[in-house]
Amino acid sequence: MPVASNLGFPRIGPNRELKRALEEHWAGRASAAELASVASAIRRANWQLQARIGIEHIPSNDFSLYDHVLDTAVMLGAIPSRFARRTELTDVQRYFAMARGLADGTTTIHAMEMTKWFDTNYHYIVPELEPGEEFHLASAKPVDEFLEAKTLGILTRPVVLGPLSFLLLGKTRGASAPPLALLDALLPVYEQVLARLDAAGAAWVQLDEPCLVLDLPRETRRAYHAAYERLSAAGPRVLVATCFGDLRANLPTALGLPVAALHLDLVRGQAQLGSALARVPRTLALSLGVIDGRNVWRADLDAALELVMQATRALGPDRVMIAPSCSLLHVPVDLDSETMLDEEVREWLAFGVQKLHEVVTLSTAVRDGQAAVAQEFASARHALERRRASARTHLPAVQARLHAVTDDMLQRAPYGERRMQQARVLDLPTLPTTTIGSFPQTAELRRARSAVRAGRITPAEYDAFVRAQIEDAIHFQENVGLDVLVHGEFERNDMVEFFAERLTGFAFTQHGWVQSYGSRCVKPPIILGDVARVRPMTVAYTVFAQSLTHRPVKGMLTGPVTMLQWSFVRDDQPREETCRQLALAIRDETVDLEAAGIGVIQIDEPAIREGLPLRVDDRSAYLQWAVNAFRLASSGVRDETQVHTHMCYSAFDDIIDAVRRMDADVLSIETSRSDMVLLETFAHVDYPNGVGPGVYDVHSPAVPAVADIEALLHKALAVLSPDQLWVNPDCGLKTRRWEEVRPAMAAMVAAAARVRASLQPAS
């Protein structure tokens, strides 16, 4: 009979227990043993929950204290030398130093690079690999966690990032050799891991190979087959798991791997099922990802069952597994925790726990007949019908406005003309300094926000508190010497949720947290209907901040593509249409900010690279509508109004033409973790607009030295002209403490002043 299977479960705990334990440990208030105890409790609860639901293949080693790719690098002994040589560090201290950097009062070690996990909002730590890297089994975490579950009477299916995806996602420093040149050195360690799992009693192991949904050259496809020839003989039966799209040209390679099972994402790649069934070997089982592991909508069980039955008729029930499309890492834990959610909306949704119930429902329908779960199917049908018919999903006025958009609404004067007008109005120095927007969200600020929501203080009292925070931030920025200031975003809980709460078409959760990286969790809003702005969202606080200073204050907005990417998006209309609705709402806000006297407006688009389709052939259409959405949002203002945008943790070499077409007056990007390597893209293109490469890593507690920032600025000047270069951190400062921000800002301003002085001609 079909196996009810899961590929991975959220790690953070139902109430973000992991986040709190990590932050207590990093602050020195909890020991490594106390952190390990919390982690063990989360794992135990996850395994027992899935067993109660009826999942038969329960994953283990899907848990991580920070990131599963970092875990894999540690397991393989791929530890960069700057961390390995610090022999006084414990294993736990070294692990977190790799993820977050290290500052011990005398030396500063920068963290490993971090970037987006495929086209999701999860961030992974990029493996740093050296030519001739010598791998060895340095951690038995997959075996340890399998045995941990086994003591509870639960036989799990250990999950390990596959060897080829590990190498393809890594970065080989200082060498022209491709990452796969290290494959032969890597495979013996994987063989050791599989042998140990086999000896421990594991019947199956799941090797995740998400890179199989990318465009792969022929030699890489050959490497897949050669690698799995070795690994299939090393221990338990192997399930190779793919996700985030269909396999296309890689399908024959995947089906030809000498493994026991192959997982297919049939939410994003439904069309591949027919091709797979036509050529699947008799020895291969298929895992069918028919429940969406990346969005929160309740499944169409009838449509999912039809896919399952199509496979069952072709293969027989014993060669079919039923699963989510990918790990449930990307969705909230449990809808039952949402006690205040609108009942109409609740009926439309499924979080991680509910998605596993859907998997078990489908498995039961195949095993015992659909009549055995008739009520579950009827409930799903009813929810879908009510959602389609709801008046909350479509607003005629929004649709009419979309149809009235013209090409002229996407245009501003050429950048050269705008630049001259902006220089005259703003009168900024060479290498102007600024921040990305947010300042620390202190415990006092979070308490005030909680108090106003609970009714313990009045809205007027909260407003006075926020204004006092803004006033302090403006005075700090003036005193430290920044050139373009920000109001600090103290009123904002999240850069997407804040705006979503002020637009039509959104729903919100209390506990719908999803891990972004490490202890960083986000609570994506849910786009369920047409989007429009009701009233100004940011004008009052931005104008107040500007009234406190003669220096320009940036209006801070989140862009339409990022609003789209960092929300759970409606699936009943094209994403492009939803994005254009968001763009019109942001456009209205830019016009109002300008009318109120704000001369610099930043429209953040950190997710525009994240939304890029994984396949090259699919990218041009996406980039066309994504760029047009940004231009629609930003082109309603006059030419003398300076428009900034911010992108972080993105490689730009494959989208630089699109970035240029966005035509922001100033682009700020993350570059410090890569030591300005990401900036090299701009050396090979004609990019005249302003660029602010981040000069220090805000995700590390380390305070940068003036000399280090100065060195990075000189590297940037090897690529950019002085009249292009802006000086700013990598990202917003909301997660940092003021004790870190104050000296870091002072160092940044001092470094900019030194470099600025060095550019002056000798007298």
CB 329 within 8 A of CB 8: yes
- Residue 265 near residue 246 (C-beta atoms within 8 A): yes
**Quick one: pLDDT at residue 655?**
87
pLDDT tens per residue across span 373-402: 999 999 999 999 999 999 999 999 999 999
Q: Cβ atoms within 10 A of the Cβ of 73, count?
A: 27
Are 332 and 10 contacting, i.e. CB atoms less than 8 angstroms apart? yes
At position 80, the amino acid (one-letter code) is: P
Of the chain, the percentage scoring pLDDT greater than 70 comes to 98
- Point out the least confidently predicted range of 240-249, 360-369, 558-567, 690-699: 690-699
| 763 pLDDT higher than 60 | no
Give 678's pLDDT tier (boundaries 50, 70, 90).
low
According to DSSP, the β-strands at 114-116 and 123-125 are antiparallel
Are 114 and 673 contacting, i.e. CB atoms less than 8 angstroms apart? yes
**Do 573 and 529 meet the contact criterion of CB atoms below 8 Å apart?**
no
Percent of the chain with pLDDT over 90: 86
Q: What burial class does residue 640 get, using C-beta atoms within 10 Å of its C-beta: 0-12 exposed, 13-18 middle, 19+ buried? A: middle
In whole angstroms, give the CA distance from residue 712 to residue 691.
14
Task: Name the DSSP letter for residue 618.
Answer: G
How confident is the model over 430-443, as pLDDT tens digits? 999 999 999 999 99
Residues in the chain: 763
φ/ψ (deg, to 5) at 205: -135, 140
Confidence band of 610 (pLDDT split at 50, 70, 90):
confident
- Name the band, by pLDDT with cuts 50, 70 and 90, for residue 674: low
Q: Could you count the other beta carbons within 10 Å of the beta carbon of residue 106? A: 5
Beta bridge partners of 533: 503
**What's the farthest any 2 CA atoms get from each other in the chain?**
90
Terminal-residue alpha carbon distance, the chain: 85
**What's the angle, vertex CA 435, arms to CA 433 and CA 436, rounded to 5?**
135
Q: Is the dihedral of CA 713, 714, 717, 719 positive or negative?
A: negative
Distance CA(669)–CA(436), nearest Å, equals 10
Q: Is the pLDDT of residue 676 over 80?
A: no
Give the per-residue pLDDT at 694: 87
Q: What is the pLDDT of residue 650?
A: 58
How confident is the model over 16-39, as a mean pLDDT? 97
Q: What is the pLDDT of residue 698?
A: 83
Q: Is 288 helix (H, G, I), strand (E, B) or coil?
A: strand
Mean pLDDT, the chain, as a whole number? 94
Rounded Cα distance, 66 and 619, in Å: 31
Q: CB under 8 Å, gap of 24 or more: what pairs does 50-56 form? A: 50/6, 50/9, 50/356, 51/154, 53/353, 53/356, 53/357, 53/360, 54/4, 54/360, 54/363, 55/4, 55/5, 55/6, 55/356, 55/359, 55/360, 56/3, 56/4, 56/5
Active-site option among 475, 511, 699, 714? 699
Structure tokens of 287? 């895992």
Dig out the tokens for 726 from the structure: 């802006």
154, pLDDT greater than 60? yes
- Would you give the distance in Å from CA 115 to the centre of its chain? 8
Summarised one tens digit per residue, pLDDT across range 623-652 is 999 999 999 999 999 999 999 999 875 567
- pLDDT tens digits, 507-529: 999 999 999 999 999 999 999 99
Question: Catalytic annotation on 646?
Answer: no
Burial of 632 (0-12, 13-18, 19+ CB in 10 A): buried
What is the distance between the alpha carbons of residues 110 and 157, in angstroms, rounded to a whole number?
35
Distance CA 676, CA 727 (A): 13
**CA atoms of 411 and 425, how far apart (whole Å):** 21
How far is residue 600's CA from residue 645's CA, in Å, rounded to a whole number?
11
Strand partners, 608: none
CB 524 within 8 A of CB 496: yes
Please report which helix (H) or strand (E) contains residue 749, including its range. Answer: helix 738-758
- Please state the pTM of the whole predicted model: 0.91
User: Using one digit for the tens of pLDDT, what is the confidence trace for 406-433?
Assistant: 999 999 999 999 999 999 999 999 999 9
pLDDT reading at 760 higher than 90: no
Cβ–Cβ < 8 Å for 656, 719? no
* Element (DSSP H or E) covering residue 204: strand 204-208
Give the per-residue pLDDT at 673.
Answer: 63
Identify the weakest region by mean pLDDT among 29-38, 173-182, 562-571, 715-724.
173-182
At residue 752 the predicted structure's pLDDT band, cuts being 50, 70 and 90, is: very high
User: 349: which DSSP letter?
Assistant: B
| Bridge partners, residue 224, by sequence | none
The answer, yes or no, to whether residue 97 has pLDDT greater than 70, is: yes
Contacts of 283 (CB under 8 A, 6+ apart): 260
Non-local (6+) Cβ contacts of 157 within 8 A are 5, 57, 58, 59, 60, 202, 203, 204, 205, 206, 239
Q: What is the pLDDT of residue 545?
A: 98
Q: Give the pLDDT score at 651.
A: 66
Average confidence (pLDDT) over 101-123: 87
The per-residue pLDDT for 668 is: 92
Quote the pLDDT of residue 684: 79
Specify the pairing of strand 506-507 against strand 526-527: antiparallel
Rg of the chain over CA atoms, in angstroms? 26
- Which helix (DSSP H) or strand (DSSP E) does residue 116 occupy? strand 114-116
d(CA 213, CA 615): 8
Instruction: Give me the helices (H) in 215-282, please.
Output: 218-231, 251-255, 272-279
C-beta neighbour count of 760 within 10 angstroms: 8
Residue type, 477: Q
pLDDT at 44: 98
The type of residue at 619 is: R
Say which residue the tokens 């929300």 belong to: 567
Cα 299 from chain centroid?
Answer: 24
Q: Which residue has the tokens 């008046």?
A: 391
Q: Is the pLDDT of residue 703 over 70?
A: yes
Task: Spell out the domains of the chain, with CATH numbers in brackets.
Answer: 3-11+51-78+122-389 (3.20.20.210), 417-758 (3.20.20.210)
Taking 90 as the threshold, does the pLDDT of residue 675 lie above it? no
DSSP at 488? B
Report whether 267 contacts 245 (CB < 8 A).
no
d(CA 545, CA 474): 7
